[in-house]
Amino acid sequence: MRLDAHWMPFTSNKAFIANPRMLKSASGMYWTTKENQRVLDMTAGLWCTNLGHGRERVAAAIYASARKLDYAPSFGFGHDGAFELAGRLAEHAPGDLNHIFFTNSGSEAVDTALKMALAYHASRGQKGRKIFIGRERGYHGVNFGGTATGGIASNTRVFGRWGDVHHLADVLDIHNNAFSRGLPAHGLEKADELEHLIEFHGAENVAAMIAEPIQGAGGVIIPPAGYLDRLREICTRHGVLLIFDEVVCAFGRTCSFSAAQEFDVPPDLMITAKGLTSGTIPMGAVFCSEAIYQSVVGDSPVGIEFSHGYTYSAHPTACAAAIACLDIY
Ligand SMILES: Cc1ncc(COP(=O)(O)O)c(C=O)c1O
């Protein structure tokens, strides 16, 4: 089999071709390789197969959906699955994040949330608010918005950072916080840099702060006690939106439905993907607050309120998979 036809993502392609690691099936917690080796899936795939592999109920829902309605556009059309799923997600949402926008990946959900932030400010006559603030070691996927707001240098070196983006220092402090039980005690003051950045650039120019409540790809970094509350408080004071990227954290990974609920810090926008369909079908979802939805959608004249969306937004098969996953969760 020709192995260089597939340009593999985030992979040393040459090393793979020299020593291919091919998987052929999966069940429960295990994969089976082409050589019939059983491999423990310790990381739940890329932190996405939260329910384990080979769930009959999910597979049956996907099959039934593909037979009944293989595709439905979601620009100007709807289908029951999309509304049922959004309604069920809204019931679990933190705070009043009751409006759900579907994408096909975490990266798309990140870009969608960033655009929602811009649309929200524009709808209130604050078009100047265009700056985004991320964090060093943050990971927000690989589309241009996520690449810019992310904070892992190797992901940006070649591509640069599009847009006006600034970063807070990360909260990794092994010297002081090693062997912490629960949330680390040191590092709360690192949140205060947000206040400084907002004042430096002018709150009237800052759109949103984006953060993973627990940083994943940057090293599984737990926030210091009070840190997320402090970010929330500073954002609120300056009219800056707080976006939580919960692509990894949501769907039970922190015990609660979302880390926002676990830490009791409600964001204005919450980005999810991965566990939404337990990795079975690509799907992401942005949870949006009542205030943002009302400002962008409710208060707009009749017409397309938000010029954004994907051919496969709310794909029927993905919705069916997500509903089946929710049933199991
Ligand atoms: C926090 C976070 N945001 C966004 C993404 C991007 O998701 P995707 O790979 O589905 O585009 C990831 C992926 O690992 C992630 O961990």
Model confidence over 73-115: pLDDT tens digits?
Answer: 999 999 999 999 999 999 999 999 999 999 999 999 999 999 9
Q: Decide: 306 and 120 in contact? Cβ < 8 Å.
A: no
- Residue 214's pLDDT band, with cuts at 50, 70 and 90, is very high
Q: Name the amino acid, one letter, at 327.
A: D
Say which residue the tokens 């769907």 belong to: 251
Average pLDDT, rounded, for the chain: 97
d(CA 170, CA 179): 18
What is the DSSP secondary-structure string of 192-206? HHHHHHHHHH-GGGE
Distance 35 CA to ligand 1 centre (A): 30
User: Is the pLDDT score of 299 beyond 90?
Assistant: no
Name the closest-CA residue to atom 7, ligand 1.
Answer: 106
**pLDDT score for 116:** 98
Match 């089946």 to its residue by tokens: 324
36's torsion region: left (phi>0), alpha (psi -120 to 50) or beta?
left
Residue 283 CB less than 6 A away from ligand 1: no
pLDDT tens digits for 249-259?
999 999 999 99
Is residue 132 within 6 Å of ligand 1 at its C-beta?
no
pLDDT at 92: 97
Q: Residue 315 Cα, ligand 1 centroid: separation in angstroms? A: 19
pLDDT bracket for residue 15 (50, 70, 90): very high
Residue 201 pLDDT more than 90? yes
pLDDT for residue 277 is more than 90: yes
What is the CA(1)–ligand 1 centre distance, in A?
Answer: 30
Mean pLDDT value across residues 250-272 = 97
Instruction: Give residue 285's pLDDT.
Output: 99
Domain with CATH 3.40.640.10 in the chain: 56-328
CA 165 – ligand 1 centroid, Å: 19
259 lines ligand 1 (CB under 6 A): no
Strand (E) or helix (H) holding 25? strand 23-27
pLDDT given at position 90: 98
Q: Answer for the pair 106, 284: CB distance below 8 angstroms, yes or no.
A: yes
In the predicted model, is pLDDT for residue 118 greater than 90?
yes
- Under 8 Å between Cβ of 55 and 321: no
Cα–Cα dist 285/272, whole Å: 5
| Average pLDDT of the residues in 265-282 | 98
Mean pLDDT of all residues in 278-289: 98
Q: How far is the CA of 247 from the centre of ligand 1 (A)?
A: 6
Please determine, looking at this structure, whether the domain spanning 56-328 carries the CATH number 3.90.226.10.
no
Q: Is 244 in the pocket of ligand 1 (CB under 6 A)?
A: no
For ligand 1, atom 8, the nearest C-alpha belongs to: 106
CA distance 329 to 317: 18
Mean of the pLDDT values across residues 119-143?
Answer: 98
Confidence (pLDDT) at 50: 97
143 lines ligand 1 (CB under 6 A): no
pTM for the whole thing?
0.98
Pocket test for ligand 1, best of 10, 43, 102, 139 (most atoms within 8 A of CB): 139
User: Please, are residues 108 and 144 in contact by the beta-carbon 8 Å criterion?
Assistant: no
What is the pLDDT, as a whole number, of residue 252? Answer: 95
From the number of C-beta atoms within 10 Å of its C-beta (0-12, 13-18, 19+), residue 112 rates as: buried
For the CA of 143, the closest atom of ligand 1 is 11
The pLDDT of residue 327? 98
* Distance from C-alpha of 308 to C-alpha of 320, rounded to nearest angstrom: 23
CA distance 267 to 121: 16
Is 24 exposed, middle or buried (CB count within 10 Å of its CB: 0-12, 13-18, 19+)? exposed
- Structure tokens given for 65: 């959906």
**Which ligand 1 atom lies nearest to the CA of residue 246?**
1
Atom of ligand 1 nearest to the CA of 48: 14
Model pLDDT for residues 44-59, shown as the tens digit of each residue: 999 999 999 999 999 9
Of all residues in the chain, the percent with pLDDT exceeding 70 is 100
Closest protein CA for atom 3 of ligand 1: 140
Residue percentage of the chain with pLDDT more than 90 = 98
Helices and strands (H, E) in the chain, number of each type: 12, 10
Residue 134 φ then ψ, to 5°: -115, -160
Ligand 1 in reach of 139 Cβ (< 6 A): yes
